[in-house]
């Protein structure tokens, strides 16, 4: 199972310098887990940078994977992970979702680079 965090989705949609890193997990939609917090972050970023139509198209593509809601169990685990590792809320929810689902996180967010079960290329500037 795989999770692409928000930075990965945005990099892929923008065809940024690390975009080629993300198609491998994206093409395996049957193994793709999409936390709802990731949909929130991607929709908001695309809406801010482009328009609502592009934002809707972005989350429609994301929904080809299995969307995982924020459950009480994931929320509690996320809070513990946030405290233990000093993670922002969204990152801790993504990490808790990955651990709950047995998924690998694909990201270019440096908050994740020291965790096991994370695939991380350093973010490149354009």
Are 9 and 23 in contact by the 8 Å Cβ rule? The answer is no
Q: Could you tell me the sign of the dihedral formed by the alpha carbons of 75, 7, 98, 65, in that order?
A: positive
At residue 124, the pLDDT reads: 75
Edge-first strand order for the sheet with 66-68 is: 66-68, 32-35, 2-4, 104-106, 118-119
Has residue 76 been placed in a domain? Answer: no
Has residue 25 been placed in a domain? Answer: yes
Has residue 12 been placed in a domain? Answer: yes
Per-residue pLDDT of the chain (126 residues), as tens digits, is 999 999 999 999 999 999 999 999 999 999 999 999 999 999 999 999 999 999 999 999 999 999 999 999 999 999 999 999 999 999 999 999 999 999 999 999 999 999 999 999 977 776
DSSP-assigned states of every residue in 47-58: HHHS-HHHHHHH
Has residue 58 been placed in a domain? Answer: yes
Has residue 11 been placed in a domain? Answer: yes
Has residue 93 been placed in a domain? Answer: no
C-beta atoms surrounding 72 within 10 Å: 7
Domain hosting residue 112, numbered range? 2-69+102-119
Are 1 and 31 in contact by the 8 Å Cβ rule? The answer is yes
CATH assignment of the domain containing 109: 3.40.50.1010
The H-assigned helical ranges of the chain are 6-14, 23-26, 36-49, 52-62, 72-85, 89-101
The total number of structural domains that make up the chain = 1
């Amino acid at each position: 199972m795989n999770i692409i965090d928000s930075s990965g989705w945005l990099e892929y949609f923008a065809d940024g310098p690390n975009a080629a890193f993300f198609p491998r997990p994206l093409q395996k939609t049957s193994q793709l887990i999409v936390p709802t917090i990731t949909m929130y972050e991607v929709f908001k970023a695309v809406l801010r940078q482009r328009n609502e139509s592009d934002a809707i198209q972005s989350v429609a593509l994301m929904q080809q994977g299995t969307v995982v809601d924020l459950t009480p169990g994931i929320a509690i685990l996320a809070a513990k992970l946030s405290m233990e590792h000093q993670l922002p809320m969204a990152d801790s929810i993504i990490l808790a979702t990955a651990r709950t689902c047995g998924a690998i996180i694909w990201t270019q967010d440096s908050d994740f680079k020291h965790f096991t079960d994370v695939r991380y290329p350093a973010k490149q500037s354009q």
